[in-house]
Amino acid sequence: MLIKSQDKTEPKSYEITPETRYWSRRDWLKSVGIMGAGLAALNAAPSFALAQDPNWQAMLLDKLSNRSKWPHSTKETPTPYKDVVTYNNFYEFGTGKDDPVKNSQDFRVDPWRVKVEGEVGKPGNYTLEDIFRPHALEDRIYRFRCVEAWSMVVPWVGFPLADLLKRFEPTSKAKYVRFETLVDPDRFPAQRFGRSTIPWPYVEGLRMDEAMHPLTLMVVGVYGKALLPQSGAPLRLMVPWKYGFKSIKSIVKIQFVEKEPKSTWQQLASQEYGFFANVNPEVDHPRWSQKRERRLPNSIWDPNWMPTQKFNGYEEQVAPLYAGMNLRTNY
């Protein structure tokens, strides 16, 4: 007989650590030296502040208050807000699940620019006001599946990435979109340590048809509120049929390129993390199974295991993107 936890909405940090430690990339990071002694010394900092630009702040607040509901959201119960914003992978703040919330308290969005370049008609350095102005926001509740075999259901707020990319007028040579996360050791404490083997900046990429797919979202908020730093403020992607590491956070560069970009996790361990990273219970990670997932909130007494769905449950919408491809080879 299983003993249930008293309150599922209040899991302790040790309760949501996987029973089998090798299921976490954190142990792999230790083995290759990414987690140095310096990371343990990261200090908590003063409270977070949004950008000081009143025009940008006012625009975001107005758009958040006038957002619409996307009619195709999953009907599954959303993960509690507390878990969404306190259980994160964001290695620029540290490799522990609670490092992002602890080490991002003084993160500032101001100043922020997004550099757009490459095979595009309208390159430039865009402000957040430039980015947001034309776009209405939607509430979209998506399943979120981490490659480490845990999952959430998250009410994101954002707008279709395709709507943004079209504004930059990509040329016929633009076959892929490459993204970069901010590099700033003053704002990302884990970037201060020379011993880190993560090659900053964090890089991700999508094939153009993936980037232009209606499900691919440029996210600016969660649970109707502006994104917090640990969740990827002020701009992050959400590609719900792919493992979470594809949904890059705190974006400062968008490049339209002709050749497939090499992502950060491909550079670190190409035998484990491929370019496509589609959720696929039929293709195991070399060090653990992908057939099932632990849905948060959970505990060691109630791990909340469930079967993983192909393409994270979005197979009907996205499988045509990969028609004829061998998804074991193109993992």
pLDDT, one tens digit per residue, over 255-306 is: 999 999 999 999 999 999 999 999 999 999 999 999 999 999 999 999 999 9
Residue at token pair 């209405």? 136
Q: Tens digits of per-residue pLDDT, 108-117?
A: 998 899 999 9
Per the DSSP assignment, residues forming a β-bridge with 113 are: 127
Residue 325 pLDDT more than 70?
Answer: yes
- Tell me the residue type at 225: K
Mean pLDDT of the chain, nearest integer: 87
Rounded to an integer, what distance in angstroms lies between the CA atom of residue 208 and that of residue 173?
10
Rounded to an integer, what distance in angstroms lies between the CA atom of residue 274 and that of residue 331?
5
Rounded to an integer, what distance in angstroms lies between the CA atom of residue 321 and that of residue 169?
22
Question: Residue range 105-127: average pLDDT?
Answer: 95
DSSP letter (8 states) at residue 42: P
Residue 238 pLDDT more than 70?
Answer: yes
pLDDT band at 197 (very low <50, low <70, confident <90, very high): confident
Q: Tens digits of per-residue pLDDT, 59-69?
A: 999 999 999 99
Sort 9 into a burial class: Cβ within 10 Å, 0-12 / 13-18 / 19+: exposed
DSSP letter (8 states) at residue 24: S
Residue 50 pLDDT more than 60?
Answer: no
Q: Tens digits of per-residue pLDDT, 76-98?
A: 999 999 999 999 999 999 999 99
Cβ proximity of 202 and 179 under 8 Å = no
Residue 174 pLDDT more than 70?
Answer: yes
pLDDT at 22: 32
pLDDT at 314: 98
Residue 43 pLDDT more than 80?
Answer: no
Domains along the sequence of the chain with CATH: 13-322 (3.90.420.10)
What is the number of other CB atoms lying within 10 angstroms of the CB of residue 114? 20
- Which of 173, 323, 312, 184 has the alpha carbon at shortest distance from 247? 312
Q: Tens digits of per-residue pLDDT, 133-152?
A: 999 999 999 999 999 999 99
Rounded to an integer, what distance in angstroms lies between the CA atom of residue 171 and that of residue 168?
9
Residue 32 pLDDT more than 50?
Answer: no
Three-state secondary-structure class, residue 170: strand
Question: Residue range 302-319: average pLDDT?
Answer: 97
Question: Residue range 30-50: average pLDDT?
Answer: 39
Residues, the chain, total?
331
At 239, phi and psi to the nearest 5?
-120, 90
